């Protein structure tokens, strides 16, 4: 292996694989060193160097130069596979470094294969994976389709580099804004915050350093031309552009648009915001399945609770009453806690004893007891909630099983519903009959108890309804004379006149 040949190999690898020549030189040196050690023994002191200018290989054994002929024969026999391995590792490391720098950035590729919903995307130098979980819901792909994705993960896997792409990540929206809106790429307009539920809706908060430029209008474009390109790329996903403001009192109403907000109450100790709206704005502020308020919470970084003023007043009363039952918590302290946004025992369980100490003026031990009591109540409420969820799941499961059995028996859903209503009516009738029977039995037992309890001393009349029986029980002689008189009357009636 002469110097010219070494230089040619290094240059070819550098051009084809984009690997730094120094890395290639080091790889060849390590390969030859490994071959020489294997030939002469691991205990020997061996050094191998390559002249970076001429390409000549020099090796020493215990300080003495190894003849070039011996060195060439050894290198030719064993160094080839090691060099190939080193070159592959260098190529892998170069690809890893390149795509590691592209994390969260936009890349373009062509889908070359689809396997159980997982798309393989050719990025040019390497193939990447677009998992089903990272695709936009409802979106379908085909082989040969060009796609734009963001790189979310890069890792070494053996001699290869595994790259994971995403079209569901919020960074895709951010990068599309940079591509489609020049003011964003030029940093005139800044995307301050972003929240996304892929395939459904995104909220993007923007601000501008130039007061003469309308940040929202620039992002929308003339007749919505700019934002339309982004929406089309995201398969029709709705995008709300929000005007950023450093004040939460302004930003949160902007984030909840199109709903109109009456008041914003901040609870800094819990990172919570209570937003008050009118009754007719409540459903609009919450959004379909809570989507609007959920995205607004992600956008501003605070937990947002939307309610009407009447609901807030009721919540305050319930919370004060519940907290007042905890030992060492006075009504004044309960009101102070509620004013800070603590509405439930779960909220109270996360408070730091030092914070409670500042609010209450109690001792450290009393504050610890309050927090422990709140922990217990919170766990109890959570267990009850788990039980309710389990019962609901069991009920839904039973309903599904009943529907499946009915379908197998040829019973229509309408017939099944009628049968369920009939069974429910019969169950109500049985329950009502059992209740009436229980009431009747209870009345009889009550009368007997009253009679025994009302029994007094002999000769004492304890009540007019049972006076005759009480008198009879008290005076046996009177009962005998009465029977004699009845027998006498009967004898007179039977004898002929």
Same domain, 23 and 63: yes
Is residue 356 domain-resident? yes
Is 459 a domain residue? no
For residue 261, is pLDDT > 60?
yes
Mark which of 244, 264, 296 sits at the end of a domain. 244
- Greatest Cα pair distance in the chain: 169
| Residue ending a domain, choose from 382, 407, 436 | 382
Rg (CA), the chain: 44
Residue 228, class by beta-carbon neighbours within 10 Å (0-12 exposed, 13-18 middle, 19+ buried)?
Answer: middle
CATH of the domain at 224: 3.30.300.20
Residues 116, 48 share a domain:
no
Residues 175 and 148 in one domain: no
Query: Of 48, 68, 97, which residue sits at a domain end?
Result: 97
Cα separation, 182 vs 176, whole angstroms: 11
Interval 276-315: pLDDT, tens: 999 999 999 999 999 999 999 999 999 999 999 999 989 8
Q: For residues 115 and 182, state if they share a domain.
A: no
Same domain flag for 174 and 210: yes
Going by pLDDT thresholds of 50, 70 and 90, the confidence category of residue 2 is low
**Residue 242: pLDDT above 90?**
yes
Q: Is 425 helix (H, G, I), strand (E, B) or coil?
A: helix
| Structure confidence at residue 473 (pLDDT) | 33
CA distance 165 to 153: 7
> Does 435 map to a domain?
no
Mean pLDDT of the chain: 79
114 and 196, same structural domain? no
Query: What tokens does 263 get?
Result: 């008041």
pLDDT at 492: 42
Residues 200-211: tens digit of each pLDDT: 999 999 999 888
pLDDT of residue 485: 43
162 and 238 fall within a common domain: no
Beta strands in 116-188 (DSSP E): 118-122, 127-130, 146-157, 160-166
CATH number for the domain spanning 153: value is 2.40.50.140
Residue 262 has pLDDT above 90, yes or no: yes
Give domain status of residue 58, yes or no: yes
Evaluate whether residue 294 is within a structural domain.
no
Which one has a higher pLDDT value, 155 or 365? 155
Alpha carbon distance 128, 485 (integer Å): 118
Using the predicted structure, report yes or no on whether residue 461 has a pLDDT greater than 80.
no
Whichever domain contains 363, its CATH number is 1.10.150.20
Does 360 lie in the same domain as 329?
yes
87's tokens: 């070159």
- CA distance to 10, 318, 319, 344, 363, per residue, from 369 (Å): 73, 21, 18, 17, 10
Type and span of the H or E element at 195: strand 189-197
pLDDT higher than 90, residue 468: no
What is the distance in angstroms between the CA of the first residue and the CA of the last residue of the chain?
Answer: 163
Q: Do 177 and 161 have their domain in common?
A: no
Does the pLDDT at position 341 exceed 70?
Answer: yes
Give the model's pLDDT for residue 197: 94
Same domain? For 130 and 189 the reply is: no
Q: Please check whether residues 189 and 109 belong to one and the same domain.
A: no
The count of structural domains within the chain is 4
Look at the pTM and tell me if it is higher than 0.75: no
Q: Residue 117 falls within a domain, yes or no?
A: yes
Asked if residue 263 is part of any domain, the answer here is no
Whether residue 63 is contained in a domain is answered as yes
161 shares its domain with 188: no
**Structural domain harbouring 57:** 3-97
């Amino acid at each position: 292996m002469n110097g010219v040949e070494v230089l040619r190999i290094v240059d070819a690898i550098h051009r084809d694989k984009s690997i730094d020549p120094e890395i290639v030189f080091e790889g060849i040196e390590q390969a030859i060193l490994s071959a020489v050690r294997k030939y002469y023994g691991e205990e020997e002191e061996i050094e191998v160097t390559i002249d970076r200018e001429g390409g000549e290989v020099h090796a020493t054994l215990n300080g003495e130069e190894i003849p070039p002929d011996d060195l060439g024969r050894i290198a030719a026999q064993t160094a080839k596979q090691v060099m190939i391995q080193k070159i592959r590792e260098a190529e892998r490391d170069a690809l890893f470094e390149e795509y590691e720098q592209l994390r969260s950035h936009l890349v373009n590729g062509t889908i070359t294969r689809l396997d159980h919903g997982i798309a393989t995307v050719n990025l040019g130098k390497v193939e990447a994976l677009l998992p089903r979980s990272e695709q936009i819901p409802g979106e379908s792909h085909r082989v040969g389709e060009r796609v734009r994705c963001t790189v979310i993960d890069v890792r070494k896997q053996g001699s290869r580099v595994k790259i994971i792409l995403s079209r569901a990540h919020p960074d895709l929206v951010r990068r599309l804004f940079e591509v489609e809106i020049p003011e964003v790429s030029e940093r005139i307009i800044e995307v301050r915050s972003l929240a996304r539920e892929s395939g459904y809706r995104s909220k993007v908060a923007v601000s501008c350093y130039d007061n003469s430029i309308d940040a929202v209008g620039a992002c929308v474009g003339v007749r919505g031309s700019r934002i339309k390109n982004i929406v089309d790329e995201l398969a029709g996903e709705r995008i709300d552009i929000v005007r950023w403001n450093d004040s939460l009192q302004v930003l949160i109403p902007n984030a909840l648009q199109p709903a109109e907000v009456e008041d914003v109450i901040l609870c800094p100790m819990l990172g919570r915001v209570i937003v008050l709206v009118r009754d007719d704005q409540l459903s609009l502020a919450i959004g379909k399945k809570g989507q609007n308020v959920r995205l607004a919470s992600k956008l501003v970084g605070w937990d947002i609770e939307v309610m009407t003023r009447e609901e807030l007043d009721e919540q305050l009363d319930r919370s004060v009453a519940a907290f007042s039952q905890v030992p060492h918590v006075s009504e004044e302290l309960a009101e102070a806690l509620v004013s800070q946004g603590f509405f439930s025992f779960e909220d109270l369980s996360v408070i730091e004893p030092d914070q409670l100490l500042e609010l209450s003026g109690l001792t450290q031990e009393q504050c610890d007891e309050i927090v422990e009591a709140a922990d217990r109540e919170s766990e109890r409420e959570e267990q009850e909630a788990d039980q309710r969820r389990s019962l609901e799941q069991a009920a839904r499961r039973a309903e599904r099983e009943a529907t499946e059995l009915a379908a197998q028996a040829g019973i229509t859903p309408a017939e099944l519903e009628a049968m369920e209503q009939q069974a429910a009516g019969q169950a109500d009738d049985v329950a009502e009959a059992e209740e009436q029977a229980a009431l009747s039995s209870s009345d009889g037992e009550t009368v007997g108890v009253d009679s025994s309890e009302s029994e007094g001393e002999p000769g004492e009349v304890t009540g007019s309804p049972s006076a005759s029986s009480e008198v009879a029980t008290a005076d046996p002689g009177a009962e005998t004379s009465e029977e004699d008189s009845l027998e006498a009357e009967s004898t007179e009636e039977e004898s002929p006149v």
